Chains A and B, each alone.
Chain A
Amino acid sequence: MLRTRNIAAVLVCLLLTALLAGCGREGSPPVKGPKAGALPQYKVDTSFELPESKTWKKAKKRGHLVVGAKEDQPYLGEKDPATGVYSGFDIEIARMMAASLGFEPDGIRFRTIASANRETALQNGQIDYYVGTYTINDMRKKLVGFAGPYYMAGQGLLVRTDENDIDGPQDLAGKTVCSAAGSTPYQRIAADYPEADLVAYDTYSICVDNLLTFQVDAVTTDDAILLGFAAKAPDEMKVVGKPFSEEPYGIGVPRSDNALRFALNDALEENEKNGNWKKAFEATLGLSGVPAPTPPPIDRYPAN
């Protein structure tokens, strides 16, 4: 017993020293699928002031913005595990907004927040705003504020390429479907297609993993997210059917901070006009083969 333990201990020490010795290569491992294109530069509005926004003032004092994002959605919000760099369309929107709020490109820190914790993170000030496939709806509007929408997604289905029985949500009876706990797509399937067997995780990447290991038959969420995954492994997964919902993506802000929300709305509108929005789309989500759509109209609901 003692001897086995000692051997184990020695092995662990060897492994740790190997790691600590830093015998690793620089850079990050090769990336599958299309690479992110040349990212657009956004002009920093250095003279921007927003003293009536508590969030903005706090961020300015801190010297940088803290933005909530997703870390496991290819081409939308993805964190390179090796370099820690975030990339994707949502991330570009966040950068665009930061530039308009008067923050330099290095004045923005991203933080991964799981779907289930978004409201909490905004409510207790862990993040200044949240850009991560965040669907605007009335229930959430009671908890947080939404700038935008900046993109119109729709719920879709991701299946294995050899799957021929599923063409839309009507075929889900008796199938195991995976989605993120607490997300809109999860609630929709539960309410409208009760014959489907629902499985929930905190993140979609585990759902996709389960799909590839045959634990589930389909992954459902917004088509934008699914397209990103399918583009990474086109031989193994495909997106099927037409989108069966409308998911306007908004930028989540603390509910009380109307000034920040209005400022972000203005910034979005300007960036959509000057072509930054289109450039950002083409450099990220557009790589999955989808042409840039026209951005949805901004919903400027009044302060409450």
Chain B
Amino acid sequence: MDVLTENWSLYGEGFLGTVELTVYASILALVLGFVMASFRVAPVGSLRMIGTVWVAVLRNTPLTLLFFAVLLGLPRFGLVLPFQVFAVLALGCYTSAFICEALRSGINTVPTGQGEAARSLGMSFGQTLGNVVLPQAFRSVIPPVGSTLIALAKNSAIAGAFSVTELLGTYKTLNELGYSIIWSFVWIAVGYLIITLAISALFNVLEKRWGVAR
């Protein structure tokens, strides 16, 4: 118990680091995932190709390898940025592939008749997509997007090994200070549970409000 109260600021810093990483990477993943998903359903062949390759490659890349390549590789091209930015980049790109797949299958669940009806009313492509298809797709993608973002929060632990301040990394300092390792890990575990449960609660609320009974 003492581990937590005596190192409140250390844990707080790590916890905030993980939260920040999760929030920024989630935003990047959602935006990129949305762009890639629209590429994947676009009528233009080469755009579909980009989307397909993006998803196929990133879904099959070990995240540790991606972190390794981004954090130690990009500076070689003269790109000098804080480590946290690189971590957000790696985590966001990786997760965007999963978000993209969730969104795409969401779009595919919308019955064809909906789009046909919209077009027969004279709606343009943008109107069909924005007013008819996406609102319906949005409802069915809430649960899978939620679990993808929970996965992102958990994956952010890898960043600690690449000199980014986050929750798991705090164990090293605590270990040096001579605290009980078991208890340090118990509080780290509690921290991650708080974050994952918070995301899960948020998406439960979203689903209650906008979700659709399938």
- Indicate yes or no for A touching B, C-beta below 8 A: yes
A residues sitting closer than 8 Å to B (CB atoms) are 1, 4-5, 116, 139, 178, 181-182, 187, 199-202, 206, 209-210, 213-215
- Decide: B176 and A199 in contact? CB cutoff 8 A: no
Contact A214 to B75, CB < 8 A, known contacts A5-B56, A116-B172, A182-B172:
yes
Q: Is B80 an interface residue (CB 8 A)?
A: yes
**Residue from the list A202, A209, A215 in contact with B80, Cβ < 8 A:** A215
B71 → A minimal CB distance (Å): 9
B52 → A minimal CB distance (Å): 5
Contact A213 to B163, CB < 8 A, known contacts A1-B56, A4-B56, A199-B83:
no
Task: Give the complex CA separation of A210 and B73 in angstroms.
Answer: 10
Task: Give the complex CA separation of A229 and B163 in angstroms.
Answer: 21
Task: Give the complex CA separation of A299 and B162 in angstroms.
Answer: 37
- Decide: A181 and B75 in contact? CB cutoff 8 A: no
- Decide: A215 and B75 in contact? CB cutoff 8 A: yes
Residues 158-185 of chain B, each 1 if its beta carbon lies under 8 Å from chain A, else 0 = 0001110000000010011010000000
- Interfacial chain A residues near B161, Cβ < 8 Å: 202
Q: Is B209 an interface residue (CB 8 A)?
A: no
A-B interface, 3 closest residue pairs, ranked by CB to CB distance from nearest:
A213-B75, A199-B163, A215-B75
Q: Is B197 an interface residue (CB 8 A)?
A: no
- Interfacial chain A residues near B162, Cβ < 8 Å: 201
- Interfacial chain B residues near A187, Cβ < 8 Å: 176
Closest to B72 in A: A209
Task: Give the complex CA separation of A252 and B80 in angstroms.
Answer: 39
Task: Give the complex CA separation of A182 and B175 in angstroms.
Answer: 9
Q: Is B189 an interface residue (CB 8 A)?
A: no
